[in-house]
Amino acid sequence: MQNFQTWSSCISGTLEKEEYLNIIKKAGFKGYENSKTTLLTEPEMDERLIGKIISIQLKSTK
């Protein structure tokens, strides 16, 4: 569980996906392509978090 604990200690500034996409739009970026989505899991992860923690990488133009 060490990897998850290390990772979770640095996510205090995370956003909900829709909130993140709205910020991108407000910043003037036009359209986006989801280049990669990663579902983050750990063997002993609390069942309430399973399927709810993702990392997304986007490509966009301004």
Band (pLDDT 50/70/90 cuts) for residue 49 is confident
Task: State the residue range of the domain holding 49.
Answer: 2-61
Q: How far apart are CA 38 and CA 5, in angstroms?
A: 18
At residue 61, φ and ψ (nearest 5 deg) are: -125, 155
Residue of higher predicted confidence among 57 and 13: 57
Q: How far apart are CA 4 and CA 44, in angstroms?
A: 9
DSSP state letter for 34: E
* Number of domains the chain is built from: 1
Tell whether the model's pLDDT for residue 3 goes beyond 70: no
pLDDT of 28 reads 94
Per-residue pLDDT tens for 7-34?
A: 666 666 678 889 988 999 999 998 888 8
pTM over 0.75: no
